[in-house]
Structure 1
Amino acid sequence: MSLIGVLTAGAGCGSGSFGSGSAGASETGAVESKATGDVGSEKFPVTEETDENAQSAETSEASTLQSDVSEERLTEGDSVYRGFRIDNVLHDQTEGDIHFHLYVPESYDGTQSYALFITLLGYQGLYFQGVGENIRTEEFAFEAQEYNNRMIIAAPQMNDWGETSADQTIALTRWLLSAYNIDTSRVYIEGYSGGGETLSRVLDKAPELYTAAMMCSSQWDGGYDRITEARTPVYFAVGEADEYYGPEPFRKAVQGIQEAYQEAGLSDEEINSLVKLDVKPSSYFSQGGVTNQHGGGGALFSHDKEMMSWLFSQVRG
């Protein structure tokens, strides 16, 4: 693994641009330089300490952008699974070590902004249950690539589904927005099962970071004020006979969000564009060859074109 300082802005773009390289690229050793380095097929910006006289006007914008991330370092994962660099670790001063898997399209070179998608794990995907188990057991990260070939995808692998995971997800999102040239009008997030619980807390803390969210087979643990102030659209999907949560937690959450929007004076049409409840009938699961609605939802929802198209068609105006 290599520890790479995250300090330089990508050439020709308005944000920093660290990358683990194109999908499937080879592992690199530790490298420090003032400019963008090339190692094998990988390209990433790296820096070394310099005195003030060595800094040029061309790096002034980068220095400004570096203020939020200069204290952070990233340890790059040393293996690849289906195009994802596995087990990168963001060492955040406040939130500690944040483990995540990352897919960066081969076409990304930092000169054009790309969308960002973050998928939050469900049961059997926590870090202590096995490195990479979240993307080995869920398909959201892979199916998402079918909807936008200019999209960076991150799959954090946390150790709980509570406040710690929510805060780490937010910290990782902010780092990705600083490290890559991201189109901030296309930042998406999804959470399945326990990952949905984490997502509800994320949306209660920093909904403005995300263009749209999709909650799958879970429950809402956050409040309603922040999400309705930000007007971040949310799609709720659950089976009518979900064995773990049932549909009632989502019905309650949707009602609470709708009422908050009504109090804010939004029309029914506006509200319907911002919150959607999709309770899947039992026939949906039986036709998909699934007998367990909760566990099967993780498999079927990622392949559901209506759901996935809804998420990735959202654009923040």
Structure 2
Amino acid sequence: MGRKLRTRLLSAVLFLVMFILITGCAEQKNTEDSDTAASASSDAGQNQEVQTQNSTAQGSSVQGTEKNASVTEGTEEYRGFTLDNVLHSETEGDIHFNLYVPDSYDGSRPYALFMTLPGYEGLYFQGVGENLYSEDFGFTAQEYNPEMIIAAPQLSDWGETSADQTIALTEYLLDNYHIDPEKVYAEGYSGGGETMSLVMGKRPELFAAYLQCSSQWDGDFELTVESRTPVYFVIGEDDEYYGSGPSREAYETLCGLYRDEGLSEEEIDELVVLDIKDTEYFESQGAPNQHGGGNLFASDPEAMGWLFGH
């Protein structure tokens, strides 16, 4: 073999060896880079998942803490009601209320809600639970719908402050319990009726119907007409505190506004009811007077049946 040929063969072999070495190193580097990138991507994904889980957990924790911190639960019970729960509202202050939640409630399906506001004798300064001791609305309501959450607030007055607190409490219950918004009912007796009439002048759309007992209307009418929230007035003909005149006037005002809206008398009758009870109604049931006898309306199937029929 000639010298030139040997030289060319040696060069070819050296070139081949160098090519194999360079190619192998490049493949190893690419493999290492791919493994590093995959590992980094995996670590990033794991970190993102952890962050997401932590964020979700923190969000749930914060939300739960806020909800739990917003109410101080009462420790005493009376006939199924937990007494003296306190909603700590940032805007409306402390709101005291007694609450009945049926044993069957587990949050899986919507329940009705009933808000019952007491007269003067049941306000908070009269003592915890006095509204439940003196009025039966919260108990007889259970006969119409055993699957109903019942809130019996004990407010401080029968004016704007208590009206705003009633709205705040209603909204809290709607946000924190599985409530059917089509089945939210309200009743107000005496001073509680004055408070609820103010609520009806502010947020009537919260309620499916309102029963006003032995009271007078202090709120505006326009929003009630706009929302088409039904109202039932029931009072003694000679109520010693209010008389029946204010209820008649409120009834006529609502009817007039609905006529202005073009509603028929039949449609108006579905939205506004005036029920004036005569002397015999109270005497036959042993009530000493007509205003104090307003608690009898809690057992009146016509009035209560109307309310929970909506």
> What is the alpha-carbon root mean square deviation over aligned residues?
2.2
- Say if 1:100 and 1:155, in contact at 8 Å, map to a contact too: yes
C-alpha deviation, 1:51, in angstroms? 7.2
- Residue 154 of structure 2 corresponds to 157
The alignment partner of 1:229 has SS state of: helix
The alignment partner of 2:114 has SS state of: strand
Question: Identity across aligned pairs (percent)?
Answer: 59
- Residue 303 of structure 2 corresponds to 307
Once residues 280 and 255 of structure 1 are traced to their aligned partners in structure 2, the CA distance between those partners, rounded to angstroms, is 17
Structure 2 letter corresponding to 1:129 = Q
**Out of 107, 129, 132, which is 1:132 matched to?**
129
C-alpha deviation, 1:291, in angstroms? 2.5
- Residue 109 of structure 2 corresponds to 112
Once residues 312 and 246 of structure 1 are traced to their aligned partners in structure 2, the CA distance between those partners, rounded to angstroms, is 26
**Out of 92, 100, 105, which is 1:103 matched to?**
100
Once residues 72 and 254 of structure 1 are traced to their aligned partners in structure 2, the CA distance between those partners, rounded to angstroms, is 42
**Out of 227, 230, 236, which is 1:230 matched to?**
227
**Out of 253, 257, 277, which is 1:256 matched to?**
253
C-alpha deviation, 1:205, in angstroms? 0.3
- Say if 1:72 and 1:90, in contact at 8 Å, map to a contact too: no
Q: Counting helix residues as a fraction of each chain, which structure ranks higher?
A: 2
Aligned residues: 260
- Residue 205 of structure 2 corresponds to 208
Structure 2 gap ranges (5+) = 1-49
Once residues 220 and 182 of structure 2 are traced to their aligned partners in structure 1, the CA distance between those partners, rounded to angstroms, is 24
Q: Deviations over 1:195-251 (max 9, x none)?
A: 000010000000000000000000000111010000000000000110000000000
Structure with more relative contact order (C-alpha pairs < 8 Å, separation 6 or more)? 1
Once residues 235 and 304 of structure 2 are traced to their aligned partners in structure 1, the CA distance between those partners, rounded to angstroms, is 14
Structure 1 gap ranges (5+) = 1-49
- Say if 1:192 and 1:215, in contact at 8 Å, map to a contact too: yes
Q: Deviations over 1:90-119 (max 9, x none)?
A: 000000100000000000000010000000
- Say if 1:72 and 1:93, in contact at 8 Å, map to a contact too: no
- Residue 163 of structure 2 corresponds to 166
Query: What is the TM-score with the length of structure 1 in the denominator?
Result: 0.78
- Residue 4 of structure 2 corresponds to none
Structure 2 letter corresponding to 1:304 = D
Once residues 72 and 263 of structure 1 are traced to their aligned partners in structure 2, the CA distance between those partners, rounded to angstroms, is 47
